[in-house]
């Protein structure tokens, strides 16, 4: 990984794949807001999303996204009018190729509501794809461990799920966007 070559303000796209190698979804914008030893923080707002079937839409709110070098999940803080909620994908650690952040999505998601409650989503989709695409026992274990680690981070009050740092990252995003428009 070439984390030392990534700079705050750099622009990337995001591509999400499924286990069979097919692209599932892509986002037009991911602006680097911070580079840590184990993860990169990106931001976007009203990014263009292209689905695998060609449908397009824009995200509804600003987002701060955490992509991890060695963790089996990524975290998206969604800055909504009524507070921050989180959408967490159980997925491979990211790679960056040709200006694009890439990862494989493994269906299971953790949705954390602004009330503090959370819910595991897409269990049936995971079960279906596990059988259809032949996920190995080792892969199944990595996926389940990623979900357990993510829940533990949330329940233990990780700063990744704290309001103030995510709002500061969004302020950084606005500053970077303003500076890039000069």
Give mean pLDDT, residues 98-102.
Answer: 96
d(CA 40, CA 6): 9
pLDDT of residue 3: 62
Q: Which positions ≥6 away from 146 have C-beta within 8 Å?
A: 71, 72, 73, 90, 91
Q: What are phi and psi of 128, to 5 degrees?
A: -65, -50
pLDDT band at 180 (very low <50, low <70, confident <90, very high): confident
Counting residues of the chain whose pLDDT is more than 90, the rounded percentage is 94
Percent of the chain residues topping a pLDDT of 70: 97
77 Cβ contact list (under 8 Å, min separation 6): 63, 64, 65, 66, 84, 85, 86, 161, 166, 169
Q: Given pLDDT bands bounded at 50, 70 and 90, which one contains residue 1? A: very low
User: Which active-site residues does the annotation give?
Assistant: 25
The helix or strand, by DSSP H or E, that contains position 65, with its residue range, turns out to be strand 62-68
How many residues are there in the chain? 182
4-58 confidence digits (pLDDT tens) = 689 999 999 999 999 999 999 999 999 999 999 999 999 999 999 999 999 999 9
């Amino acid at each position: 990984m070439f984390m030392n070559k990534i700079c705050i303000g750099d622009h990337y796209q995001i591509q999400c794949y499924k286990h069979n190698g097919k692209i599932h979804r892509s986002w037009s914008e991911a602006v680097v807001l911070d580079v840590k030893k184990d993860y990169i923080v990106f931001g976007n707002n009203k990014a263009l999303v292209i689905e695998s079937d060609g449908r397009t839409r824009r995200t509804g709110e600003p987002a701060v996204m955490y992509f991890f070098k060695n963790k089996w999940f990524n975290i998206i803080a969604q800055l909504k009018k009524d507070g921050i909620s989180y959408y967490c994908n159980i997925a491979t650690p990211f790679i960056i190729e040709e200006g694009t952040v890439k990862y494989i999505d493994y269906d299971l998601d953790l949705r954390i509501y602004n009330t503090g409650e959370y819910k595991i989503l897409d269990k049936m989709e995971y079960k279906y794809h596990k059988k259809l695409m032949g996920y190995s026992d080792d892969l199944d274990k990595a996926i389940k461990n990623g979900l357990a680690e993510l829940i533990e981070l949330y329940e233990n009050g990780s700063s990744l799920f704290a309001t103030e740092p995510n709002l500061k990252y969004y302020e950084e995003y606005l500053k970077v966007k303003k500076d890039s428009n000069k």
